[in-house]
Amino acid sequence: MGLFNLFKASKTVLVVDGVSLNDALGMKGKVPPRNQLQLLRRLARFSQREKLDMVVVLTGSPLNKAPAGKKFEEISVIYSKSPEMHAKFLVKTTRARGAGAVLISGNAAAEKIAGGSLKLMRVSTFRKAFDFGGSDLEGSDRSERGSGERKSGNNRNRPPRRRQQQKTSGENKQDHPPKENSEADAINELIDLVD
């Protein structure tokens, strides 16, 4: 991913606005803890794959499995006290990480507060690299795929097994002239023999 190769030269810390990223992924409002943990796991895998330091900022009370200020699978997780204070907290957190910090957010208020003093990246730009790595969010991505699609790429071009069996059994009946029905033939018709 060429986009993040720029950050690897200097020691860069990505400060990710978890609220904006949840919104961009279609989870608006109060996001259940399970979905927040799924997002954190996905960000942790991304951070490890790209070898980037990352701080994720969520809002509200800390999750039990991701306490405030602690590492969660190699990424730091912190929480703003309320949605109203979130924009100021994002800017304050990014400034505290030093000159190499990059704020990844879709929060217009945070961008306005930061002015030109911080390096900013829009969530939409970040998602292009983030989504390229594959989608792990169990709940939302499954519903977007639809229930009829299979996840495995190997089975896409294969016809359903019933049709294939009916087709081959119909061809076998046409290829061979009918024989006298013996007990062995009756059993062979009931068993799907492999040649």
Q: Of 9, 28, 10, 8, which is closest to residue 18 (Cα–Cα)?
A: 28
pLDDT in the model for residue 128: 84
Span 85-111, average pLDDT: 92
Contact yes or no for 38/136 (Cβ under 8 A)? yes
Alpha helices in the chain (DSSP H): 2-9, 18-24, 33-50, 86-96, 108-114, 123-132, 138-145, 161-175, 183-190
Q: For tokens 């495995």, what's the residue?
A: 152
Beta carbons within 10 angstroms of residue 121's beta carbon: 17
Lowest model confidence (mean pLDDT) among 46-50, 97-101, 151-155: 151-155
Average pLDDT in the chain:
76
The pLDDT of residue 63 is 92
Nearest to 102 by CA among 170, 180, 4: 4
In whole angstroms, what is the distance from residue 187 CA to residue 139 CA?
A: 47
Name residue, tokens 């229930």: 147
Tokens of 100: 């190499």
- Element counts in the chain: helices (H) and strands (E): 9, 6
> Percentage of residues in the chain with pLDDT exceeding 90?
42
- Give the pLDDT score at 109: 93
Distances 178 to 162, 175, 182, 185 between C-alpha atoms, Å: 23, 9, 12, 11
Tokens of 159: 């016809």
Task: Name beta bridge partners: 119.
Answer: 102
Question: Whole-model pTM?
Answer: 0.63
